[in-house]
Structure 1
């Protein structure tokens, strides 16, 4: 099982490592529009393709959405209470603790460990977390929130199209499905290389705050997995679906939290360190979840 886990995660590590190398040695990933291309074209195509091809009815999809929302709400309540107890500013520390990196880390991990069924679950979960980023994340860190920021989000629009397709039992023409499949195939590698770029560009200048960052970094994957373990089994999902959601809730601090902290003058160096430190732990937790659900 260990060798199978290593085999599954090796492409993820290698592609993220390639992104770090290309960032340090070349300008291949420097185009600022590359991230927008993935967010606005690649990820929606991946999501829509997975939803249209998954063997799941509308009720099953909405159950995944509901389970994800409940997990995020419970994590928000726990994190908010803990931050208040520790006298830390919830404005900047709550979103990183609540919102996992279900995008450029979670989706590839889910596909590597749980296959196409895990990928279908991951894109739905990731869309819900995207909504959380643009509501809870932007709302807390900026001090204000505008609904139009959510309406302009590509993955959210793709999720709504997928819901409509399932609700009315619509089927896409085969050429359209093939196009979505091709876009999906290039999206995961680019997402991982951009993750490597983000890690390569992280800056740690406030060394005095390292202990707080370490503590919060450890909390994110462990709290996410613990909350999901308490909530997800009540929904009656299949073993793969259940394991995928739990693994996704244990993902590391999201890179977008670092981007928001930078934009709104938050503790970006601490959040950068939280991303780096929570990454290996999140992979370890996801591997443990994968191992526990293997016999099922």
Structure 2
């Protein structure tokens, strides 16, 4: 009973905030997803990442181990999901990226924070940053044939990760007034991303729902399994292990739909994956948390 209550206390704020966004749209209120997403990804999320890394009390060696584990994990996921799409006859440019990349920002960061505190958030931003770099390169190349390393280097969240890592490594701190400003700005990120997730799901028109449900189940099982195997192989500590598994097992990101729509892939099919996997995560993520806590 205590475990169930603990899991509920962790996941309830996440899904309630997403429900706020969903209800907001259904009531006919305006919500400019592009503006909010741009503000989150260029301002609040980079601030959140930088401050989290700068102030984390995690041993740099542990962060290095998690970084290596995340790279191996996403590498393994890339190979497995590419093989699945190729052997099952699914269109590679439509399905592979959504099956690889989860919603490590909108869902992964708040889950890690609520479940494991600031330490968990520090671990989660590392996995999120690695996923983002791989998504901005291989993910875009996969959907459009036009991924660019230069584009990655221009992303504020990549710069924030590198700078935060440098401050952590050197033991530097920004002046208190600046730290407080950056921290306050970063605190916008999690509620903004969760509400935006609900808004995006409310506006999607899902296609091939039955197929999407099957693929979503396959995705969460494979992602959690790979995260578990890689975390054990690297001998990660309990919190880092749990964060890695949770981050890899997050549902299909809304950005996968936006990329599919932008570059002419089957966006309706991807929308089905987003909706199906997000709904499935309402059950899957609490179950994973119960096992990992």
TM-score range (shorter-chain normalised) is: over 0.9
Q: 1:242: how far off?
A: 0.8
The alpha-carbon deviation at position 31 of structure 1 amounts to 6.0
1:286 Cα deviation after fit: 2.8
**Counterpart position of 1:77:** 79
Find the residue that maps to 1:172 and give its secondary structure. coil
Equivalent position of 2:51 in the other structure = 49
Partner of 2:177: 175
Take 2:69 and 2:282, find their aligned partners in 1: how far apart are those partners? 21
Q: Indicate conservation of the 8 Å contact 2:220/2:249, yes or no.
A: yes
Point out the more displaced range, 118-127 or 175-184.
175-184
Label 1:51 to 1:283 Cα distance change in 2 as closer, same or farther (>3 A): farther
CA deviation after TM superposition for structure 1 residue 213, in Å: 1.9
- Residue 109 (structure 1) aligned to one of 111, 117, 138: 111
1:254 aligns with 2:256: no
Correspondences of 1:113-152 after superposition (within 5 Å) = 113-152=115-154
Instruction: For residues 151-208 of structure 1, give each alpha carbon's deviation from its aligned partner in whole angstroms, at most 9, with x where no partner exists.
Output: 121111100101221233322212122112211222211111111111011013x4xx
Deviation at 1:24, TM superposition (A): 2.6
User: How many angstroms apart in 2 are the aligned matches of 1:178 and 1:99?
Assistant: 32
Query: How do 1:23-102 residues align onto structure 2 when only pairs under 5 Å count?
Result: 23-30=25-32, 32-102=34-104
Matched pairs, number: 291
Cα distance in 2 between the residues matched to 1:286 and 1:239? 17
- Do structure 1's residue 231 and structure 2's residue 233 form an aligned pair? no
Deviation digits for residues 244-289 of structure 1 (CA, Å, limit 9, x no counterpart): 1111111001111011000011111111111111123334333233
Say if 2:54 and 2:165, in contact at 8 Å, map to a contact too. Answer: no
Which digits, 9 at most, give the CA deviation of each residue in 1:22-77, with x for residues without a partner?
22324442263221110100000111111011112333222221111111110111
- Kindly report structure 1 stretches of 4+ aligned residues shifted beyond 4 Å: none
Q: Which residue of 1 aligns with 2:214?
A: 215
Is contact 2:85-2:92 (8 Å) kept?
yes
Name the CA distance, whole Å, in 2 between partners of 1:35 and 1:247: 23
- State TM-score, norm by structure 1: 0.93
Q: Secondary structure at the match of 2:205?
A: coil
Determine the C-alpha separation between the residues in 1 that align with 2:55 and 2:170: 15
Q: Secondary structure at the match of 1:32?
A: helix
Larger deviation: 106-115 or 121-130? 106-115
Q: Equivalents in 2 of 1:69, 1:253: separation in Å? A: 19
Shifted more, 260-269 versus 230-239: the winner is 230-239
Distance of aligned partners of 1:68 and 1:163 in 2 relative to their CA distance in 1, 3 Å threshold: same
Give the 3-state SS of the residue equivalent to 1:251 in structure 2. coil
TM-score (norm 2): 0.94
Find the partner of 1:2 among 4, 20, 29. Answer: 4
Q: Distance in 2 between matches of 1:218 and 1:164?
A: 39
Per mean C-alpha deviation after superposition, the further-off stretch among 178-187 and 263-272 is 178-187
Query: Where does the alignment leave 5 or more consecutive residues of structure 2 unmatched?
Result: none
Unaligned runs of 5+ in 1: none
